[in-house]
Amino acid sequence: MREVFLDYASTSPVDPDVQKAIMQSFTLYIGNPSSIHHYGRASREAVEANRDFVAQLLGSKHDEIVFTAGGTEANNLTIKGTAYMHKDKRKTKGPHIITSVIEHPAVLEPCRSLEDDGYKVAYLPVDKYGLIDLDTLEHTITKDTFLISIMTANNEIGTVEPIQEIGKIAHDHNILFHTDAVQGVGKLPIDVKKQHIDLLSLSAHKFYGPKGVGALYVRNGVQLQPLMHGGGHEKGLRSSTLNVPGIVGLGKAAELAAKRMPTDPERIQANRDHLIQRVLTIEESRLNGHPTKRLCNNAHFRFTGIEGESLLLGLDDKGIAASTGSACSSQKLQASHVLLAIGLTPVEAHGSLRFSLGRTTTRDDIDYVADELPGIVNRLRQMSPMWNR
Ligand SMILES: Cc1ncc(COP(=O)(O)O)c(C=O)c1O
């Protein structure tokens, strides 16, 4: 049976060149990068060379990159690490974070845990496309706001937020600006200086690197408290022996992403648009998210009268991998908080499906999916009590 992977927003396969670099690292870099003998120095050099590739992709300085175990850790380090700098003010002032209702749980959950500890958090609403409103953002700022954290692009519906404008507002008010760019890196051009970004989270496995490694860009001068205490690695921000093979993989993925930025997104978007055009010919189907301000690889639909989960299984029978909501929350069977936030009913939210394309997706793959999908939708509708035509 033909196999088509259209779930790149959940994770991406490791690029063959990345895989090669990782495999070589196991024999080339056996030393601990903190050791001063030549084995250690070789590992340290590899770590620093790959830190450079990540820095170049973001337009940051070399020493502004802190390696982490992924996007979740980078988000937690930002949110809790900046909040703990304001710990003493909790009783008198209520230090304040602004974020949005459609953030990934890796931002929402640390924020909620801080609320339990006496911090204040404002969750900005979004419009029907998933965009935050800049006036609302500006009016939500208080004299105690120390952090604005808004995602670069949403992991479910792919909506791209006006990051540069948000960063400008944050800096006009002397507030730190963090963006969870886990979905944006490798697909959107990023320039942390130009976009007024102080902290940025990324994760290797979303752009053809290995799982379990990521980074946090921390602008020089930004003060953070570490979450892990130990040997003081990564300028004291993230103790633990560095994950050399993971960092080599992340660096290689970043290097390739930078090289492919001029061509990949455009080609992927053309395939994505072809998919959208074909899928929307199905009766009672709609596109979720913004028509143009969306990630090049994201196509998110809803279909009246059927459950996304059943659709997912029907597609899986045909060798096609897609997703309902984010992979992390798809176990929960709750309506997606993102889809509810853009105004869908729980029933509409449950009838939604995300296709996310990648570097190796072909036009043939898309045509195969678009040929199979109408039959699956019709079959499910015939069995559905919610479909009474
Ligand atoms: C927007 C966003 N932030 C954070 C994460 C978590 O990243 P990681 O899996 O590296 O912890 C994800 C993963 O799905 C994501 O899509």
pLDDT tens across 220-255, in order?
Answer: 999 999 999 999 999 999 999 999 999 999 999 999
CA torsion through residues 293, 298, 303, 308, sign: negative
Segment among 12-21, 82-91, 260-269, 364-373 with least mean pLDDT: 82-91
CA-based radius of gyration for the chain? 22
Give the per-residue pLDDT at 279: 98
pLDDT tens across 16-75, in order?
Answer: 999 999 999 999 999 999 999 999 999 999 999 999 999 999 999 999 999 999 999 999
Segment among 142-151, 297-306, 338-347, 379-388 with least mean pLDDT: 379-388
Q: Is the pLDDT of residue 382 over 60?
A: yes
For 236, list phi and psi in degrees, rounded to 5. 80, 0
In the chain the domains, ranked by start, together with CATH numbers, are 4-12+262-382 (3.90.1150.10), 16-260 (3.40.640.10)
Q: Is the pLDDT of residue 331 over 90?
A: no
Give the per-residue pLDDT at 326: 45
Q: For tokens 């790959």, what's the residue? A: 50
Instruction: Provide the token pair at 243.
Output: 């994950």
Return the ∠ at Cα 291 (arms to 136 and 361), rounded to 5°.
125
Per-residue CA distances from 342 to 128, 205, 260, 288, 319 (Å): 4, 27, 32, 9, 31
Instruction: Give the percent of the chain with pLDDT over 70.
Output: 97
Long-range contacts, 81-88 (Cβ 8 Å, 24+) = 81/224, 81/225, 81/226, 81/227, 81/237, 82/146, 82/147, 82/176, 82/178, 82/199, 82/222, 82/223, 82/224, 83/114, 83/119, 83/146, 83/147, 84/225, 85/146, 85/223, 85/224, 85/225, 86/119, 86/146
How distant is the alpha carbon of residue 148 from its chain centre?
A: 17
Task: Using most ligand atoms within 8 A of CB, pick from 10, 182, 208 the residue to mutate for ligand 1.
Answer: 182
- d(Cα 11, Cα 20) in Å, to the nearest integer? 19
Which amino acid, one-letter code, is at 246?
A: G
Residue 333 banded pLDDT, cuts 50, 70, 90: low
How distant is the alpha carbon of residue 364 from its chain centre?
A: 27
Torsion of CA 51, 55, 60, 65, to 10 degrees: -40
72 Cα: distance to centroid of ligand 1 (angstroms): 6
Residue nearest to atom 5 of ligand 1 (CA): 71
pLDDT tens across 136-177, in order?
Answer: 999 999 999 999 999 999 999 999 999 999 999 999 999 999
Q: Is the pLDDT of residue 327 over 50?
A: no
Q: Catalytic residue positions?
A: 328
- d(Cα 185, Cα 201) in Å, to the nearest integer? 9
> What does the pLDDT average to over 110-126?
96
- d(Cα 43, Cα 179) in Å, to the nearest integer? 30
Q: For tokens 């507002």, what's the residue? A: 169
Residue 292 banded pLDDT, cuts 50, 70, 90: very high
Instruction: Provide the token pair at 5.
Output: 């992977």
Task: Using most ligand atoms within 8 A of CB, pick from 77, 183, 208, 216 the residue to mutate for ligand 1.
Answer: 183
pTM of the model: 0.96
The residue that leads in pLDDT, 92 or 267, is 267
190 lines ligand 1 (CB under 6 A): no
The residue that leads in pLDDT, 380 or 95, is 380
pLDDT tens across 60-96, in order?
Answer: 999 999 999 999 999 999 999 999 999 877 766 678 9
If residue 216 lies in a helix (H) or strand (E), which one and from where to where?
Answer: strand 214-218
If residue 126 lies in a helix (H) or strand (E), which one and from where to where?
Answer: none
Q: Is the pLDDT of residue 354 over 60?
A: yes
203 lines ligand 1 (CB under 6 A): yes
> What does the pLDDT average to over 269-279?
98
How distant is the alpha carbon of residue 388 from its chain centre?
A: 38
182 Cα: distance to centroid of ligand 1 (angstroms): 6
246 lines ligand 1 (CB under 6 A): no
DSSP conformation class of 251: H
Residue 328 banded pLDDT, cuts 50, 70, 90: very low
